């Protein structure tokens, strides 16, 4: 799969490339990446969030996993060239995220 997702931290400019593959968004979230709207923050900037904003990121924003999933889906939709086997992430009735072939 030649699809690539390029990302950049909106605070420090750290950047990277990943692929739209199942498990990638979960691993990025658990590594410490956070997102709100079209804005992504790297783990280092999330760690210092409280110093800049007065509260921890996960305390300041409601439902960080959902916000990250929404950011991920937007990146896949705008950057992936072959969407035939792409999975998107939607919330199920118990609050978890399920992969949906789109």
Question: Which has the higher per-residue pLDDT, 86 or 75?
Answer: 75
For residues 25-38, average pLDDT: 93
- How far is it, in rounded angstroms, from Cα 67 to Cα 90? 11
The pTM assigned to this predicted structure is: 0.81
pLDDT (0 to 100) of residue 45: 97
Q: Which residues pair with 99 in a beta bridge?
A: 89
pLDDT (0 to 100) of residue 1: 46
Would you place residue 3 in the very low, low, confident or very high pLDDT band (cuts 50, 70, 90)?
confident
CA 101 → CA 12, 20, 29, 33, 38, distances in Å? 33, 12, 20, 24, 22
Looking at the predicted structure, is the pLDDT value of residue 44 above 70?
yes
CA 10 to chain centre: 13
As for how many domains the chain has, the answer is: 1
Q: Which domain holds residue 43?
A: 5-101
């Amino acid at each position: 799969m030649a699809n690539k997702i390029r990302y950049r931290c909106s605070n420090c400019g750290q950047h990277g490339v990943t692929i739209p593959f199942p498990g990638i968004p979960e691993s990025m979230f658990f590594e410490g990446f956070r997102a709100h709207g079209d804005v992504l923050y790297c783990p280092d900037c999330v760690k210092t969030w409280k110093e800049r904003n007065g509260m921890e990121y996960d305390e300041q924003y409601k439902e960080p996993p959902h916000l990250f999933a929404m950011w991920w889906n937007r990146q896949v939709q705008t950057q992936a060239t072959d969407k035939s086997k792409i999975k998107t992430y939607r919330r199920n009735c118990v609050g978890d995220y399920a992969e949906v072939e789109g």
